[in-house]
Amino acid sequence: MAHEDDSGEEVGTPRERFRAGVRAAVPFALAGGLLSASFGVVAGQAGLPDLAAIVMSLIVFAGSAQFAAVAIIGAGGSLGAALVAAALMNSRFLAMGIALAPSLPGGPLRRALQGQAVVDASWAMALRPDGTFDRHFLFGATAPQYVAWGVGTVLGVLGRSVIGNADRFGLDAVFPAFFLALLLTEARHPDSRRVAMAGAAISLALTPFTPAGVPILAASVAALWGLRTRQPS
């Protein structure tokens, strides 16, 4: 969506689209770096060794799952409970992966590896109005976010005593603000607005009753509104 010229046509070679993705993701990478610094702080407070926190950011690279899993271990919960929480927080990637699948070429292994590039902001920005994805843009958008996520975690681990409680910097408002900005700029069509309202309502209705993460996955059901339309908007 963000990678079209004024005429709405997609432009550029794969390399150029990759670079466009990198550029579009820089603000997200900066915010993600701040958030992962707070993860570095929180992980230490929960008793995770420094190296484990850094390795976790490098090989898991899923913020909400990492925070949820570490919070449960820190509160004395079991490993199993922590992994279930991580899976539920990540369950939205299942919906995103299904949406992305037809846009990925190659065999199953190659598609599985390409699917690892899905993070919220990249996925939303790489989605074209016709329901297909620009995968080079997706890869480009994820690259700086991955680097910043790792660097931020290292800084958070090192600066734990300086940073203290990261919530007082209001960093937890950064991501919802980003997602709202994406929503307001991308979802101009009335159908999109309707579905957004329905998705928000579904997630809030389920929040008191279901494990964290489930309300977000369940909200994707609102997209079935698209079955009513004759052609992609």
Partner 1 sequence: MSTAWALVAGCAVVTFAIKAAGPIALGGRELPARFASVVALTAPALLAALVATHTLADGHRLEVGAPTAGVLVSALVLQRTRSIAWCVVSAAAVTALLRAF
Q: What is the DSSP letter of 144?
A: H
8 vs 176, beta carbon nearer partner 1: 176
Name which position in 4, 87, 143, 150 contacts partner 1 (CB under 8 A). Answer: 87
5 vs 209, beta carbon nearer partner 1: 209
Name which position in 102, 147, 159, 164 contacts partner 1 (CB under 8 A). Answer: 102
Q: How far apart are the first and last CA of the chain?
A: 13
- Amino acid identity of residue 232, one-letter, is P
9 vs 130, beta carbon nearer partner 1: 130
How many angstroms separate the CA atoms of 168 and 170, rounded? 5
The least distance separating partner 1 from the CB of residue 181, rounded to whole angstroms, comes to: 5
Binding residues among 139-198 for partner 1 as defined by CB under 8 A: 167-187, 191-193, 195-198
- How is 145-212 classified by DSSP, letter by letter? HHHHHHHHHHHHHHTHHHH--GGGGTGGGHHHHHHHHHHHHH--SHHHHHHHHHHHHHHHHHTTTS-T
Binding residues among 44-83 for partner 1 as defined by CB under 8 A: 47-49, 52, 55-56, 59-62, 65-66, 69-70, 73, 79, 82-83
Binding residues among 12-31 for partner 1 as defined by CB under 8 A: 27, 31
SS percent in the chain: helix, strand, coil, step 5? 75, 0, 25
131 vs 159, beta carbon nearer partner 1: 131
